[in-house]
Amino acid sequence: MRKDVAFKTEDGVTLRGWLYQPDKARSPVPTIVMAHGFSAVKENYLDKFAEVYAAAGLGALVFDNRNFGASDGEPRQHIDPWQQVSDYRDAITYASTLPEVDADRIGIWGSSYSGAHVLVVGALDRRVKCVVSQVPLISGHRNARRLIRADMIAAVQGMFLEDRKARYAGKPHGMIAVVSNDPNVPCALPTPDSYEWFTETAKLRAPAWRNEVTLQSVELFTEYEPGIYIEYVSPTPLLLVVAAGDHLTVADEALAAYGRALEPKKLALLGGGHFDAYVKDFPASSGAARDWFAQHLLDE
């Protein structure tokens, strides 16, 4: 069972999403708080994950990040990772007020950029009793240098500085494409599988997705270091879902971070690439998360 919900953040922005409940649920139930990654909206397959969790007896609160999709917020298409971390925590607060939700058994799930956020939230917020981080960003600085050619880094940093000067002068945020199939067009996620997944998913199921973000969103990405929090998630149980062929949020960074994490922890290694976690490898990725949540939220 799914219903539309809306809630306010601490600074007054309305976020919108869905609340899933197991069929014939006896409230309150353990509930998973979920949002999507870089520029994605909830229709980018988050419903499929929530349906798996609901079928296992878990609730799920799925919401669009501020400035994206059905949620409010300005400027549109702007991503501040620390603001998204704060919004996750406000979503937990909101979920805790609902009669359908067992406030003592809340888990969090994130993927890609939000997979990074849940590492931070899991380390900082002890209301969280279980964490699943799927194909996460670990280091914005190092990851950016895997995605941007070395001879282009100075030019990209110059774009950031020019955008900063323009905003200081009162001009609107500069914008950049999220993905492109033209290697000569600057974009935030410059891999062929990023272009294929976002554009195909927009056609099939996520018409609210827009192929642009603020240029400052990319600058903030390069400054975000969520991996330093992974060792502080313990003693909250952590499942890290890594795609062996991931060259967007690169697999070796995630595997190295898993080595730094403390118990209780578990690694689920998928065979495909970053976006296969949502489609081809979905049974494995969603099943591993479902079982981890069930073990730590249902079986206690």
CATH number at residue 105: 3.40.50.1820
Query: Which pLDDT band, with edges at 50, 70 and 90, does 171 fall under?
Result: very high
- Whether residue 158 is contained in a domain is answered as no
pTM of the model: 0.97
Confidence of residue 69 (pLDDT cuts 50, 70, 90): very high
* DSSP for residue 177: B
Q: Is residue 54 part of a domain?
A: yes
Residue 178 lies in a domain: no
3 state DSSP class of 92: helix
Instruction: Kindly state whether residue 186 falls inside one of the protein's structural domains.
Output: no
Distance CA 50, CA 67 (A): 22
For residue 148, what pLDDT is reported?
86
Q: 103: domain range?
A: 2-138+225-298
pLDDT for the residue 300? 56
Compute the distance between CA of residue 250 and CA of residue 142 in angstroms, rounded to an integer.
10
Q: Which residue in 20, 69, 21 sits closest to 44, CA to CA?
A: 69
For residue 38, tell me if it sits in a domain.
yes
Could you tell me if residue 146 is inside a domain?
no
Is 45 inside any structural domain?
Answer: yes
45 vs 50: CA distance, rounded Å:
9
| pLDDT (mean) for 156-177 | 97
Range 213-233 average pLDDT: 98
Mean pLDDT confidence for 199-215: 97
**Mean pLDDT over all residues of the chain?**
97
Residue 288 confidence (pLDDT) above 80: yes
Region 214-238: mean pLDDT is 98
Residue 27: pLDDT band by 50, 70, 90 thresholds? confident
The mean pLDDT value for 4-23 works out to: 97
Give the number of domains in the chain.
1
User: For residue 196, what is the enclosing H or E element?
Assistant: helix 192-204
In a domain, 167, yes or no: no
